[in-house]
A and B are shown apart, each in its own frame.
Chain A
Amino acid sequence: MWFFILAELLVFGVFFLAYAFARTRNVELFNASQLELDQLSGAINTVLLISSSYFVVRAVDQIRHDRSRSCAYWLIAAMTCGGTFLALKLVEFGAKLEAGITMSTNTFFMFYLGLGFFHFMHVVLGMVILGAVTLKAWKGGYSATSYGGVETGAAYWHMVDLVWIILFPLIYVLH
């Protein structure tokens, strides 16, 4: 799993640097386009992902204490945050498309929509993984001596959070 996570981090790293260096040649365009973003939505999404990561930490702690049901409850809380994140992103993307903004509008929006959708798909995959882990935890499939699956799912979810922690200031905050 760690090789997979590292590969994902490398890909996101390349995209982040491509954005940052592309911006050096179009500073005014990037700054003007950034003003059209909903920073509040981005900030709420940051709170949601950070909180979901914390809930996953709590889930791992619970299974270490052999509390399978409690582990599942924390995972459900994490997925609720993840689901709300996805819903907010859909509203955000929908508003942009309604305003006639697409990936071909300009370089900034190409990165904003491209990176945002790429990360969105990772959140979807993270939700699928957490969903499978939750189901197994609910059925008592993990124990204090056998919880590798919970840790693997947690590592992937934290990676998704880590990427957003950089993506948010890069696209929504720095100008």
Chain B
Amino acid sequence: MMKAATFQWLILLAMTAVAVGLSQASLSDNAILAPVLLTTLVKGRIVIDRFMALQGAIAPWRWVVLGWLVVVVGLIGYAFHMAQT
């Protein structure tokens, strides 16, 4: 179990590096939007399911927290996309 947690921690660190790297690269605002938000979604899911241990928890807690993550990140993506068009 702890090996899995260590692996997830390293994934979280790697995804943070990817997001920062993307923002430093000479890419358009639109080009970094989807990958950065995707890494945010994956990182959020790891924290909710693995660190908070909500995967397998009694409903509805997992779905409420995951729903919050998807709605917030999705609407942020919509707002940023709207601002670019």
Contact = CB atoms under 8 A, between A and B. Distances in A.
Interface stretch (A13-21, A96-104, A118-126, A141-149): A13-21
Given A23-B80, A27-B83, A61 B2 contact: yes
B11 to A, nearest CB: 10
A174 B80 contact: yes
Grouping DSSP codes into helix (H, G, I), strand (E, B) and loop, the B interface class, with mixed when no group exceeds half, is: helix
A137 B8 CA distance: 26
B44 A162 contact: yes
A139 interface: no
Contact of B20 (A23, A43, A53, A57): A43
Interface of A: 2, 5-6, 9-10, 13, 16-17, 20-21, 23-24, 27, 39, 43, 46-47, 50-51, 53-54, 56-58, 61, 154-155, 158-159, 161-162, 165-166, 168-170, 172-175
Interface of B: 1-2, 5-6, 8-9, 12-13, 16, 19-20, 22-23, 29, 32-33, 36-37, 39-40, 43-44, 47-48, 50-52, 61, 64-65, 68-69, 71-73, 75-76, 79-80, 82-84
